[in-house]
Amino acid sequence: MPIKSNGFTLMEMMVVLVVMGVVAGLAMPQYARSVERSYRKDAENQLMLIHSAQEMYASRNNNAFWGPAVGATPALKLANINQNLALNTLANGMNYDCTGAGAAYSCTAARNGGAAFTITITQAVVNPGVNPSCAPVAECP
């Protein structure tokens, strides 16, 4: 009469652990890259939101943009941006700052942890009589 076994052998458990280790080793770097891409996309989205808020601010204030962000710490600068542009931007591991005012401004989002990066959005002064994509001027219509 054969002996009936209801469990796993040590060898089967070891094979399963090795397979799980290989899968985890392959998946973790991809997961880390995905997390860093999400931080970058969040910063881009927040800067586009700040840009839209700047446009609305300028439409109510004689085409003058708001700025600069004041504060001794990144948290105070973000609070100043949120208060003056009526936003609710979260830091999410980023430092936000805006400089300039009047006809032009520049806002940045900088990530210090992980893969550090800085993204900047700029609104420059545009001369309405000049086509900025036309160079040299002699060849413009």
Give the tens place of pLDDT for each residue, 14-56.
999 999 999 888 888 899 899 889 999 999 999 999 999 999 9
What residue numbers bound the domain in which 15 lies? 10-139
Q: Is residue 4 domain-resident?
A: no
Provide the mean pLDDT of the chain. 85
Contact 68, 75 (CB under 8 A): no
Q: Is residue 2 domain-resident?
A: no
Q: Is residue 5 domain-resident?
A: no
For 54, other C-beta atoms within 10 Å of its C-beta total: 21
Count of structural domains, the chain:
1
Give the C-alpha separation, 65 to 103, whole Å: 6
Alpha carbon distances (Å) from 83 to 15, 77, 89, 94, 108: 57, 10, 10, 18, 17
Q: What's the whole-number mean pLDDT along residues 82-94? A: 90
Full-prediction pTM beyond 0.75?
A: no
- Taking 60 as the threshold, does the pLDDT of residue 123 lie above it? yes
Give the C-alpha separation, 61 to 136, whole Å: 35
Give the C-alpha separation, 68 to 104, whole Å: 11
**Spatial CA neighbour of 46 closest among 80, 84, 83, 94:** 94
What is the reported pLDDT for 7? 80
- The secondary structure of residue 139, as a DSSP letter, is G
Q: Is residue 21 domain-resident?
A: yes
Q: What's the whole-number mean pLDDT along residues 115-128? A: 82
